[in-house]
A and B are shown apart, each in its own frame.
Chain A
Amino acid sequence: MANDAPPRWDRRMQQRLARGEAAALAELYDRFASLVHALAHRVLEDDTGADRVTREVFGYVWENPDAYDPRQGSLRAWIAMLTQRQAVHRLRASQPASAGGDTLTSEALEERIREASVAARADYIVTSMPAPLRAALELAYFDRRDYREAAAALGVTEDEARRRLRLGLQLLSTAHVQPSRAVPPPGYGRAL
């Protein structure tokens, strides 16, 4: 699944996009559209806006496949970053215009952006954490197994199951940690 996409897939996809292969664009969409739409929706809380950001993000990636640097991380993470940036840009841009009732206070605006950033980082962490950790979390959280059942399902010791659950959550908790740069880097929020 998308979660386990190896870097090789990312590089190959980049080459195919650069080559102008329409089928690659379709595959890219199939793999990441729900991620892009969900991230954009979390910032904008609006279907039309999320649709628009989805168009803009895929348009940008299709036109600029070389802007992706596989050494900097996964294609998924790059696309999530582009989405977050573009959605925040759209949210900020929409604010002065809508002088009516649904203008957010600047605190509420920043809070929404902050929450969306945490959620985006959490998504990144969950999807990029080692598969054994993710599998343990899935069993405990989504399938509601206790750690002994999870251990049996995974074929590991109970010690190991406890360790994976704890380590997985430790990883996930780092989503709350703001990136070291509190000040947005230059170009942050720039339109795609």
Chain B
Amino acid sequence: MTGRGGPDPYDDDAYGDSSGGAGDGRDGPGRGSGADLPSHPAGPPRIPPPRSAAEDGGRWPGALDGGIPAPRPPTADESRTDGIRADEAPAERAPEPGPEPDAAPMPPGPPPTPPAPPLAAPTPSAAHPLSHDLLRSLLGAWALTACSQDETSAVEAHLNHCPSCAEEALRLRDAVGLLHTEHSLDLDPMLRSRVLAGCLGRRPARIPMPGWAGAYDAEAARLDALLRDMGEAEWRAPVRLKWFDGRRLTGRDTTVAGVIGHLMVVDGIVAASLGLPDPMGFDAPGTPLARTEAYWHLEPGAAYGAGPPGAVRELWREQGHALVRTVSFAGRGVAELDVPYGDFALPIRDAFLDRALECWVHAGDIAEAIDYPYEPPASAHLKAMIDLCARLLPGTLAERRRAGLAAPPRRLVEAGTPGRTLHLQVEGTGGGDWYIPLDSPAAMPEPEEAVATIALDQEAFYLLASGHVPPQEAAAGLSGDTEAIRDVLFATAALSRL
């Protein structure tokens, strides 16, 4: 944005000004004739008032006379999908510089009674009518119904005897109708994978994306699409993030913008381990929780939604693209690179799955907060995420055991040998069967040694593993050793975190 008072970068009459800018400063009202004006055989056209702005419920006091075609009411679709949005809308309505009564904020609801005309803008019938120049400069605002009632009246009176302004007024009013160009249907997220697969079928990639990065790439794109058409209010919508802290469900209140900031700074751990810039800087805290708290503390606006609401989306998305780009170039070895999460570490291939899962979980939180549907991931990706959970379970179980939160092992099993096993059965397109070694992370799971089964559908698994339901209330079919079942349910919930 150019600053206040800088040199004017745009030539006023550079575009499409067919009415001849030269000398119009000397045209007074009523003198709107000139050799360069289009001819109007039947006299100047009667210009109806402009169409109203998007979402206009008739709250502008501009529409004065009757007999005006009613503005086309915008559909709900349009009101959500502006296509373009204000980047600079301040959090609060900026106060008017002067004591102009007609510039007071308009309350929603019925139009306010017209205020007294300001001294600076006399009515057209007054002794000092607005100059042609000023009226002409108002045409854009008039077409957008963005001027005061008195100005609107003055412009419309002027149009009746100024053909050049009348011509421009018609043209600008028609242009307003073109503003909502980018309607957006919700694109089917599966279209993305179909289109990309189709492209790669036509011309194979010379630098492919590692398979294990595909889930993150797709989930980040899905969440980004959800964010795409969000207005300012939705960015500030409250979201409660929930997780299971090892003993009980807990949560934190933030906003949609705060959630994206959280995703960004935790993705930053992966970025830093790939040598990309860490959004939290050099001395960033290690754990996702500490990073997020630090970010929300440093940028309180991010948690509570001040500032340009969508800005964090770009930071998050750009970083996400950089992650995928970087691992695509990094070669095979990078897959096993450790990503330190503070109190644990994951090889980068699993960190990408973990970040994909987080995207999905928080997209679900956001969708719930703004009351919008959100589908589960593509089945292959979902399966990979559940597989990650299943692989993490034995370690989490052992940790909980050490902390006294799970029952001690029933028997000691030598590393690599079969031990007691729990059968985890997830139903759904991304589901499958997993066998969890119970006695030690080093033990080999053995279907024949299964002492218990937990069967649940993928939605219930999602709710459990994301810490959105208490483990004892997971909607699961359970059979076998109750202690093993309890320990695994709690360990699954304990995979969740902020």
Docked-complex contact A172 and B221, CB < 8 angstroms: no
> CB distance A138 to B86 under 8 Å?
yes
- Contact residues, A16-67 vs B (CB, 8 A): 19-27, 29-30, 33-35, 37-38, 41-42, 47, 51, 54-55, 58-59, 62-63
Give A147 to B244 CA distance when docked, in angstroms: 50
Chain A, Cβ-Cβ closest to B1: A132
A157 to B139: give the CA distance in the assembly, Å. 16
The interface residues of chain B, by DSSP majority, are classed as loop
Contact indicator per residue, chain B 212-251, by CB within 8 Å of chain A (1) or not (0): 0000010001001100100000000000000000000000
Are the CB atoms of B88 and A153 closer together than 8 Å? Answer: yes
Binding-face segment, B12-20, B339-347, B463-471: B12-20
Residue contact B207 to A20, C-beta cutoff 8 Å: yes
State whether the Cβ of B128 lies closer than 8 Å to any Cβ in chain A: no
Q: A176 to B174, Cβ gap below 8 A?
A: yes
CB distance A170 to B202 under 8 Å? no
- A141–B195 touching, CB < 8 Å: no
Flag whether A139 is at the interface (Cβ < 8 A). Answer: yes
Interface size class of A (residues with CB under 8 A): 35 or more
Q: Which residues of A contact B473 (CB under 8 A)?
A: none
B489 to chain A, nearest CB (A): 37
Q: Number of contacting residues on B, CB 8 A?
A: 86
Question: Which residues from chain A contact B324 at a C-beta distance below 8 Å?
Answer: 23, 26
For B9, give the chain A residue with the smallest CB separation: A130
Q: Pick the residue among B17, B103, B140, B195 that contacts A58 (CB under 8 A).
A: B195
Say yes or no: A23 contacts B321, CB within 8 Å.
yes
**Residue B36, interface by CB 8 Å:** no
Q: Mark B192-209, 1 if CB is under 8 A from A, else 0.
A: 101110111011111111
A139/B209 in contact, CB under 8 A: no
Interface residue B93 (Cβ < 8 Å from any Cβ of A): yes
Tell me the bound Cα distance from A48 to B97 in angstroms: 53
Which residues of the other chain, B, contact A127 by a CB distance below 8 angstroms? 84
Residue in A25, A47, A140, A153 whose beta carbon sits within 8 Å of that of B53 in the complex: A140
- Nearest CB of chain B from residue A120's CB, rounded to whole Å: 8
In the complex, what distance in Å separates the CA atom of A167 from the CA atom of B324? 41
Bound complex: CA A168 to CA B139 (Å): 11
A162 adjacent to B321 (CB under 8 Å)? no
Asked whether, in the complex, the Cβ of A131 is within 8 Å of the Cβ of B1, the reply is yes
Is A21 in contact with B325, judged by CB distance below 8 angstroms?
yes
Q: Report the Cα distance A54→B189, complex, angstroms.
A: 13
Judging by beta carbons under 8 Å apart, are B175 and A169 in contact? yes
Q: Does B336 contact A (CB under 8 A)?
A: no
Given the contacts A55-B194, A131-B1, A154-B1, A23 and B187 also touching, CB distance less than 8 Å: no
Q: Which residue of B lies closest to A30 (CB)?
A: B221
| A63 in complex: contacting residue of B3, B55, B203, CB < 8 Å | B203
Give the contacts of B127-164 with A (CB-CB under 8 A): 137-141, 143-144, 146-148
B191 touches which one: A42, A51, A135, A175 (CB < 8 A)? A51
Task: State how many angstroms separate the Cβ of A34 from the closest Cβ of chain B.
Answer: 5
23 residue pairs bridging A and B, Cβ less than 8 Å apart: A21-B328, A22-B207, A23-B321, A26-B209, A26-B217, A58-B198, A63-B203, A123-B182, A126-B181, A132-B1, A138-B82, A140-B144, A142-B53, A147-B146, A163-B10, A163-B137, A165-B144, A165-B146, A167-B140, A168-B140, A169-B143, A170-B16, A176-B171
In the complex, the 7 A-B pairs of residues with the closest C-beta atoms, listed nearest first: A166-B140, A20-B206, A165-B140, A122-B178, A22-B205, A173-B175, A152-B94
Given contacts A26-B217, A126-B83, A148-B96, 6 further A-B contacts (CB under 8 A): A21-B328, A34-B184, A34-B187, A59-B198, A135-B1, A146-B141
* B residues lining the A interface (CB < 8 Å): 1-4, 9-10, 12, 14-17, 53-56, 59-60, 82-90, 93-97, 100, 103, 105, 137-141, 143-144, 146-148, 168, 171-172, 174-176, 178-179, 181-185, 187-188, 191-192, 194-196, 198-200, 202-209, 217, 221, 224-225, 228, 314, 317, 321, 324-325, 328
Which positions in A face B, CB cutoff 8 Å?
A: 1, 3, 19-27, 29-30, 33-35, 37-38, 41-42, 47, 51, 54-55, 58-59, 62-63, 118-119, 122-123, 126-127, 130-135, 137-150, 152-157, 159, 161-177
